[in-house]
Amino acid sequence: MSVHIAAKKGEIAKTVLQPGDPLRAKYIADNFLTEVKLVSKTRNVLYFTGLYEGKEVSVGASGMGIPSIGIYSYELFTEFEVDTIIRIGTCGAYSTDLKVYDLLNVEYAASESTYAKFAWEIEQDLLSHQGKAFGLINDCANEMSLDVRATNIHTSDIFYRKTPGIPAIAKKYNCSAVEMEAFALFANAQYLGKNAATILTVSDVIPTGDQISADQRETALAPMIELALETAIKMN
């Protein structure tokens, strides 16, 4: 048991899928896993462990933003000996080259955040995925005939912004989309020598205002969830 996750040692699998939303974690557990056990509900941040194609996988929420995923991913890696975390989430596209429902496999995350610097003395503002999960995601996508784009993304601390347009750091690193967590996950994994990847579904195209409705999101996210699960069982 850690400060924020009440599971016992051994109740969380070596590979964890991390959506932001606790109810999305429950949806995955209810619809994709068998022999499911709720192993933590501290602060209503739900963690489940079950079987996918006969292999153990856990799924639990990261919450929103760098500080939140920073805490949960660190505790998973250090207190529960998790080897791999695959973040699964949504993002806003900066470019009309992307469309809603597109799948992204994050190669690098750029951020103005000071998280990596002050947590681990990592000075870079552009951090890579860590370990072999990124490559396995691409391999699984090919096997599943899914079109997945490897790309750089911007991890922002800001959801609402006074000045519209693409921030300077996103332009600097040619980031195709924006989300709020991957940079911290990659920083923790880099420092601890763990595997970390991020798969995103484009839910909004910022220049056009196109978006996936709330009612469409569960169905829209199924390909990303299945891709993450297929990758997870190959990590074990």
- 102 catalytically annotated: no
CB 103 within 8 A of CB 227: yes
Choose, from 125, 204, 210, 215, the residue flagged as catalytic.
204
Question: Which residue in 103, 111, 129 sits closest to 221, CA to CA?
Answer: 103
Distances (CA, A) of 231 to 68, 109, 182, 225: 24, 20, 18, 10
Rounded to whole angstroms, the Cα distance separating 102 from 183 reads: 20
List, in sequence order, the alpha helices (H) in 21-129: 22-32, 66-79, 115-120
Rounded to whole angstroms, the Cα distance separating 138 from 142 reads: 6
Q: Tokens at residue 63, please?
A: 């919450």
Catalytic residue set: 204
